[in-house]
Amino acid sequence: MSDNILEIKDLVVHFETDDGVVHAINGLDISIPREKTLGLVGETGAGKTTTALSVLNLVPNPPGKIKSGSILLDGKDVLQMSDSELEAMRGNDVAMIFQDPMTALNPVMTIGDQIAESIELHQHISAKESFEKAKELLKMVGIAENRAYDYPHQFSGGMRQRAVIAIALACEPKLLLADEPTTALDVTIQAQVLTLMKDLIDRRHMSMLLITHDLGVVAETCDDVAVMYAGRIVEIGTADEVFNATRHPYTEGLFNSLPNLHERGEELIPIKGLMPDPMDLPQGCAFAPRCSYATEACTKAVPELRTMGGTHYVACSAYDNPSFCLRRNANG
Amino acid sequence: MAEKQNKVLLEVDHLTKYFNTPRGPLHAVDGVSFTIEEGKTLGIVGESGCGKSTTGRTIIKLLEPTGGKILFEGQDITGYSRSRMRKLRTEMTMIFQDPFSSLDPRQSVMQLISEPIREHHLLHGKEAIARRTLELMDIVGLARRFVNSYPHELDGGRRQRIGIARALAVNPKLVVCDEPVSALDVSIQAQILNLLKQLQKDIGLTYIFITHDLSVVKYFSDDIAVMYLGQMVEKANSDELFARPLHPYTQALLSAIPIPVVGGDKKPRKLIRGEITSPVNLPDQCRFLKRCDECQKQCESAKNPELREMTPGHFVACHCVN
């Protein structure tokens, strides 16, 4: 058995639309060790959600097409599975939590029934037993049992997301895909939900892929971090490596854009320009047009991930020059 | 040299706004008071449902206040009729949160930005209006080639720049920014925040900055007011508030911000229990009572606490702070 619960190798996903081909994911490699949490960070349109959907083989087709690559879940390739194998895998082995808990829940079904539904479907036990189990799950996520008879509109945003977590954990999956699980919530509720998720994952020895744009959330919850840009991983390593020994200019740019809680008033350093159109990606490194370190060489070839020592990898050709160093690191 | 005393631009005194619901009055804003000097920024923070947006909208009278007073440049505008307010609409404007739904999808950038100029007859003649529109596009950093584009062709950051240009088109003194960067990615968020700050430096705008994001508000504001269930629970200078938060709610709010730092000494999180309670039919006692860890016996029997000045300029509404 492999040490990694999830191994994605050289994944390419295109959306073939009438206007042209959207290059959503262009050769993605990530792996998540057992019982670890990987944070996947990037801006809107970087391909984070498509990555998660690919793991479940749920990329909408058409227009989406998984062109090549392999996704090994517990050693088995998701992309080679039959429909019935996929059905057995979804929910049982892998579960997903979506960003917006209101649209993820069925408005005309009670919360208890919705949780029970997935238990009944996957574990083949009676409706009554599943409903009892659903109540237990609600208690586990901090909601009183009698609320199982309520409908989603009677729940607040934070409670809805707790209910969604209960559904996701109902069949004790090995891997949880969480797509911006707390983005729609207030900070105080976000703190509660993140603490709950971390606790449940630790206790059940699960692994998690946490998709977020919030570097703060990553720092609080993740063991490893992967930074994604235009469908590729540009930097990956342990949280300590990526946060404290940042290597990629894009990652540096993300940190510089954040308002600093400790020093006020100084001007923020935004990343100039915009994310490239995934229908018309630039030649070479996709970040080169926005990069303040870019040289001509950057526009020629797509940089490969290279090791910076240990588990820290970066895709930037500036490191061809052994003395290259980001400004963030140069000043200590 | 004596410190220059700035002119007070806006004074809000015990502003209230109730909405009638079948279950009783909903206290959206309940006795909020503050003043803002010209060229300064007041940040209003709080969770969803605390009444921060309603406060912003009531101040510029997009909503009729239920009670209290609003003084703009010394004149009491609380009772102004719609037609009298119309003249003031060039002095106070608003930037909205969602640049996707706040722009008419069938108007081009030129039409969108020039609309307030035409509406208020600020300039006459097609050419003059077009020149001013292009000038506004330069000011907000929107390339002139987009002048004939439509909102759906532009990304969120550029759309928000249109929203800012529209707000600036009337040469306002006061701009109410309601979550202006919440819908944007961090790298774009930084561009917009820098722009707003630069505009304040250049034209001396006064901002009310409404947000749930405490790191943004600290970067942006001179003073910060923390709201909970329609009331102001703490108000202080920005640095002071972050250095010495007094109200248990402010403390919890600050400690809930995820900090993008790995390793080093991190203070343990102070989680607050439960969620914001219903703003309908509120009893006359501290509104944070049920979620508060500091809460002592006296709070349960005491009335709703008033704002008290603890140190100069630092106000807090809590029975337990001494």
Please name every residue paired with B308 in a beta bridge, in sequence order, or none if there are none. Answer: B316
Contact B47 A188 (CB under 8 A): yes
Question: Which residues of chain B lie closer than 8 angstroms to A264, CB-CB?
Answer: 218-219, 238-239
Question: Which residues of chain A lie closer than 8 angstroms to B188, CB-CB?
Answer: 43, 270, 274
Minimal Cβ distance to B187: which of A156, A218, A270 = A270
User: Across residues A125-146, what is the average pLDDT?
Assistant: 90
Q: Write out the two tokens for B277.
A: 């309670």
Q: What is the pLDDT along chain B (322 residues), one digit of tens a residue?
A: 344 567 899 999 999 999 998 888 899 999 999 999 999 999 999 888 889 999 999 999 999 999 999 999 999 999 999 899 998 999 999 998 877 788 999 999 999 999 999 999 999 999 999 999 999 999 898 888 899 999 988 888 889 999 999 999 999 999 999 988 887 888 888 888 999 999 999 999 999 999 988 888 888 899 999 999 999 999 999 999 999 999 999 998 888 888 888 876 666 777 787 777 788 878 888 888 888 887 777 888 888 888 999 999 999 999 888 7
Question: How far is residue B94's CA from residue B58's CA, in Å, rounded to a whole number?
Answer: 12
| Domain chopping of chain B, boundaries | 8-91+172-316, 108-169
Question: How far is residue A94's CA from residue A55's CA, in Å, rounded to a whole number?
Answer: 9
A249 band by pLDDT with thresholds 50, 70 and 90: very high
- A142: nearest CA partner in chain B: B274
A78 versus B2: the higher-pLDDT residue is: A78
Question: How far is residue A183's CA from residue A100's CA, in Å, rounded to a whole number?
Answer: 8
What pLDDT score does B131 carry? 95
What pLDDT score does A280 carry? 87
- Eight-class DSSP state of B208: E
User: Across residues A83-97, what is the average pLDDT?
Assistant: 90
Helix (H, G, I), strand (E, B), or coil: what is residue B85? helix
What pLDDT score does A329 carry? 78
CA angle B302, B307, B311 (to 5 degrees): 120
User: Across residues A275-280, what is the average pLDDT?
Assistant: 85
Q: Write out the two tokens for A92.
A: 């049982």
Q: How many CB pairs under 8 A join A and B?
A: 120
- B216: nearest CA partner in chain A: A259
What pLDDT score does B302 carry? 84
Please name every residue paired with A90 in a beta bridge, in sequence order, or none if there are none. Answer: A94
User: Which of A116-120, A159-163, B261-265 is the least confident region?
Assistant: B261-265
What pLDDT score does A66 carry? 92
Mean pLDDT score across all residues of chain A: 89
What pLDDT score does A328 carry? 80
A331 band by pLDDT with thresholds 50, 70 and 90: low
The answer to whether B155 and B187 have CB atoms below 8 angstroms apart is: no
Question: How far is residue B201's CA from residue B193's CA, in Å, rounded to a whole number?
Answer: 13
Helix (H, G, I), strand (E, B), or coil: what is residue B84? helix
B252/chain A closest Cα distance in angstroms: 7
Tens digits of residue pLDDT in A18-46: 888 899 999 999 999 999 999 999 888 88
Name the residue among A40, A14, A28, A180 with its Cα closest to residue A104.
A180
Q: Is the pLDDT of residue A332 over 50?
A: no
Q: Write out the two tokens for A133.
A: 């189990």
Question: How far is residue A206's CA from residue B195's CA, in Å, rounded to a whole number?
Answer: 44
Residues of B with CB under 8 A from a CB of A: 47-48, 155-157, 185-191, 193-194, 197, 212, 214-216, 218-220, 238-239, 242, 252-253, 255-263, 269, 271-272, 275-276
Q: Write out the two tokens for B64.
A: 């009729």
Residues 6+ apart with CB under 8 A from A306: A313, A314, A315, A319
What pLDDT score does B122 carry? 93
Within 10 angstroms of residue B204's Cβ, the number of other Cβ atoms is 11
Residues 6+ apart with CB under 8 A from A320: A297
Strand order in the sheet with B41-45: B92-95, B174-178, B206-211, B41-45, B223-228, B231-237, B314-316, B308-311
Contact B258 A158 (CB under 8 A): no
Quickly tell me which residue has 């950051």 as its tokens.
B157
A261 CB within 8 Å of a chain B CB: yes
Q: Write out the two tokens for A69.
A: 């690559």
Question: How far is residue B78's CA from residue B69's CA, in Å, rounded to a whole number?
Answer: 6
Name the residue among B319, B249, B315 with its Cα closest to residue B286.
B319
Question: How far is residue B292's CA from residue A206's CA, in Å, rounded to a whole number?
Answer: 33
Mutate to test the interface with B, among A162, A268, A269 (most CBs of B within 10 A): A268
Minimal Cβ distance to A258: which of B239, B260, B263 = B260
Residues 6+ apart with CB under 8 A from A259: A268, B190, B193, B215, B216, B218, B219, B220
Mutate to test the interface with A, among B41, B160, B186, B220 (most CBs of A within 10 A): B186
Question: How far is residue A260's CA from residue A242's CA, in Å, rounded to a whole number?
Answer: 18
A217 CB within 8 Å of a chain B CB: yes
B192/chain A closest Cα distance in angstroms: 9
Contact A190 B256 (CB under 8 A): yes
Contact B259 A216 (CB under 8 A): yes
B46/chain A closest Cα distance in angstroms: 9
Domain B8-91+172-316 in CATH 3.40.50.300: yes
